[in-house]
């Protein structure tokens, strides 16, 4: 077990899980026969409170490790190789982490217990070659053999082949074209940059420069062992019918390749300069871009290709920001370095505040007041990219990260408001003003269909996902049930349960309930997460526990409860119907299910009692829970996240509500407003 920076324990590993594996440990506590369940739950909550309080930063925030997959680490080493800034200590510590994630079959997965993934394995292999591992080493031979068996480099995703093209391992002309002139498309024109979700937008703009420049830094070795046929690395793909959208975009890509050869120099230079200005204007105060690692990496490369040397203030700040994504620990006395794709202090802090308050910590407890002060200081009071679609809307949201003023998050804003309302702050007027700004901003970000996306309003264009370039994950930000539920919940608690905009959100949620009674989870795995978010929102908005939608949700949760009393759902549920609601029990997913059941009035039910008992029984002596499974998502299935604080905050919130009831802020005001 590896110690992590948030003080919890969690493996940084990629091995497969057995079918019956649970997250309990040998140190787990059990409830003694005859012990009252509520007493056991109260004791478990007290231990969890102590554990969480001990991990609060002196400034008031919490942040758990955000674990993803080794592409972050591999691309960090590739970037350093490209820029010529690699150092032996960093390379060695990163390579040690990458090696430690390799599975017995030679592959690397994108989530704990998941299948080997081709592009991830290719990038990990190349990074280890750069670190000095030899192709005839047994672990490298296994990886190369598996890659060849899956089609080789030619079958990997576009982003992987872009990285290889930077070193001459792939031909630029065999990649989809992405012209920098895209920056000039007006906001009403299809495929303008604001048609893409903010995370894709921040990545695509710098990549247009890279695509135009087509740089090659000669590689120190060949990669013939990763091709099925080194003489023919790019077997042609048959074009889709011309009348289909796929066929249209494939032919458009061919036209753009032809345009690349004849693009007017002045126009191309102007486009790249405009892209550079766009990138620099969106650099955050800490030097990063969007608070996430991939756009920062590509922005640094793009600016470097445009002549910005490594000592330029913009470049220096960008490179320094990348170092802050590193998490350091030791294994067998040797340094290991893991790269986070992102950092989640605002999200972790608001969820921790809710958990502690719901567990009975006094509302004026110094830890809660300090957390509220920090959250208040993080509110964003200037416009960002969201204002392109909402130019008349005043700012007031919160972002996910330490620094990301351009892209506040609708979901974070909702949860921060719920957290602030749980704290008895010495300056209530300050809290009221911040909550009013945040609520007003969330209301203004409602999409036309009555629901909410994560970062933008009406980011639903059907075209970006069809581009040949976009073969990995979501590139648009349509409304989702989980985000919509969190906004509906705050509106209800702020006394706006009968506001027409809230009712539109409620109607959207009811219309998007699955036939089995669950709701899809966009930002958490999966239907357990979606259902755990929606049911509390609907009851907060006034739906009784007897409502047919609530009863269907309860029945579904009861039907997928595991024999051990917990709930779990594997990431395969995004692809396989048989995996929906099925998987080894986890603390976070058990917490989500219990939050829904408690909100539905099922406190005395057997399902709730079994779930609470499971949490009490699987808690470690230090008040924590072990959870190697990935229960968060960046892109469903394609990019998965293990939030190391989820295993603390959600079970604690559920235990607190079981012990103390749902004494949530604003509930009375919401009901009085009906």
- The residues assigned a catalytic role are 411
Query: How many helices (H) and strands (E) are present in the chain, helices listed first?
Result: 23, 5
The SS3 of residue 520 is coil
Tokens 């920098």 belong to residue: 180
d(CA 661, CA 664): 9
d(CA 167, CA 221): 10
Tell me the sheet residues that pair with 477: 459
d(CA 468, CA 470): 6
Q: Which two tokens stand for residue 83?
A: 């820029």
Residue 359 Ramachandran class (φ > 0 left, ψ -120 to 50 alpha, else beta) = alpha
d(CA 511, CA 71): 38
Q: Please report how many Cα atoms fall inside a 13 Å half-sphere around the Cα of residue 189, on the Cβ side.
A: 7
- Helix locations, 600-645, DSSP H: 606-618
Cα angle value 113/116/122 (rounded, 5°): 140
Is there a contact between 441 and 397 (Cβ–Cβ < 8 Å)?
Answer: yes
- Helix locations, 542-633, DSSP H: 548-559, 587-599, 606-618
Locate the DSSP E strands across 299-379: 326-331, 334-339
d(CA 64, CA 10): 11
d(CA 386, CA 401): 17
d(CA 153, CA 223): 9
φ/ψ of residue 294, rounded to 5: -60, -50
Burial grade of 440 (CB within 10 A; 0-12, 13-18, 19 or more): middle
Tokens 């217990």 belong to residue: 113
Q: Which helix (H) or strand (E) holds 138?
A: helix 138-149
Contacts of 269 (CB under 8 A, 6+ apart): none
Across the beta sheet with 632-635, what order do the strands follow? 66-67, 639-643, 632-635
d(CA 191, CA 465): 10
Tokens 């997928």 belong to residue: 560
């Amino acid at each position: 077990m590896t110690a992590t920076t948030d003080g919890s324990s969690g493996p940084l590993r990629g091995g497969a899980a057995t079918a019956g594996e649970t997250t309990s440990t040998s140190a787990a506590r059990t409830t003694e026969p005859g012990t009252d369940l509520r007493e056991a739950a109260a004791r478990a909550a007290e231990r969890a409170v102590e554990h969480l309080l001990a991990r609060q930063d002196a400034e008031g925030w919490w942040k758990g490790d955000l674990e993803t997959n080794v592409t972050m680490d591999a691309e960090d080493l590739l970037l350093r190789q490209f820029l010529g800034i690699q150092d032996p200590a960093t390379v060695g510590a990163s390579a040690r982490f990458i090696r430690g994630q390799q599975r017995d079959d030679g592959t690397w997965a994108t989530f704990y217990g998941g299948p080997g993934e081709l592009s991830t394995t290719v990038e990990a292999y190349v990074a280890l070659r750069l670190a000095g591992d030899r192709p005839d080493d047994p672990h490298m031979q296994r990886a190369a053999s598996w890659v060849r068996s899956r089609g080789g480099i030619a079958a990997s995703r576009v982003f992987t082949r872009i990285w290889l093209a930077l070193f001459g391992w792939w031909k630029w002309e065999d990649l989809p074209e992405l012209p920098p002139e895209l920056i000039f498309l007006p906001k009403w024109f299809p495929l303008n940059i604001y048609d893409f979700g903010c995370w894709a937008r921040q990545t695509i703009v710098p990549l247009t420069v890279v695509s135009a420049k087509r740089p090659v830094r000669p590689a120190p070795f060949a990669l013939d062992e990763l091709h099925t046929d080194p003489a023919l690395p790019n077997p042609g793909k048959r074009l889709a019918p011309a009348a289909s959208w796929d066929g249209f975009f494939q032919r458009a890509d061919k036209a753009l390749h032809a345009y690349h050869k004849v693009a007017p120099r002045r126009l191309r230079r102007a486009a790249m300069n405009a892209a550079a200005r766009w990138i620099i204007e969106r650099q955050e105060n800490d030097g990063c871009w969007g608070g996430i690692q991939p756009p920062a990496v590509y922005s640094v490369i793009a600016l470097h290709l445009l002549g910005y040397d490594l000592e330029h203030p913009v470049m220096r700040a960008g490179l320094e920001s990348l170092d802050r994504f590193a998490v350091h620990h030791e294994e067998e006395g040797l340094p290991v370095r893991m790269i986070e794709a992102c950092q989640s202090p605002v999200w972790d802090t608001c969820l921790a505040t809710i958990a502690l308050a719901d567990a009975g910590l006094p509302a004026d407890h110094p830890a809660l007041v300090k957390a509220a002060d920090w959250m208040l200081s993080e509110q964003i009071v200037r416009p960002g990219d969201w204002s392109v679609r909402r130019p008349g809307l005043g700012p007031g949201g919160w972002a996910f990260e330490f620094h990301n003023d351009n892209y506040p998050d609708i979901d974070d804003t909702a949860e921060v408001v719920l957290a602030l309302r749980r704290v008895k702050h010495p300056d209530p007027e300050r809290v009221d003003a911040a909550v009013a700004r945040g609520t007003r901003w969330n209301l203004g970000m409602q999409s036309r269909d009555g629901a909410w996306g994560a970062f933008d309003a009406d980011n639903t264009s059907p075209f970006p996902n069809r581009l040949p370039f976009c073969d990995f994950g979501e590139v648009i930000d349509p409304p989702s049930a989980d985000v919509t539920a969190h906004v509906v919940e705050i509106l209800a608690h702020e006394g706006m349960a009968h506001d027409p905009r809230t009712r539109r959100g409620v109607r959207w949620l009811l219309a998007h309930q699955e036939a089995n009674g669950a709701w899809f989870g966009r930002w958490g795995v999966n239907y357990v997460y979606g259902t755990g978010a929606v049911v509390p929102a609907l009851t907060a908005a006034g739906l009784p526990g007897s409502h047919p939608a609530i009863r269907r949700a309860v029945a579904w949760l009861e039907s997928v409860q595991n024999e051990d009393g917990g709930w779990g759902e594997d990431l395969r549920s995004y692809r396989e119907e048989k995996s929906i609601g099925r998987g080894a029990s986890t603390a976070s997913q058990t917490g989500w299910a219990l939050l829904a059941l408690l909100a539905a009035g099922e406190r005395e039910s057997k399902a709730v009692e079994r779930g609470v008992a499971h949490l009490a029984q699987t808690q470690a002596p230090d008040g924590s829970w072990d959870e190697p499974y990935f229960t968060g998502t960046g892109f469903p299935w394609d990019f998965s996240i293990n939030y190391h604080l989820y295993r603390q905050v959600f079970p604690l919130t559920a235990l607190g509500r079981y012990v103390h009831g749902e004494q949530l802020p604003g509930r009375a005001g919401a009901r009085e407003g009906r």
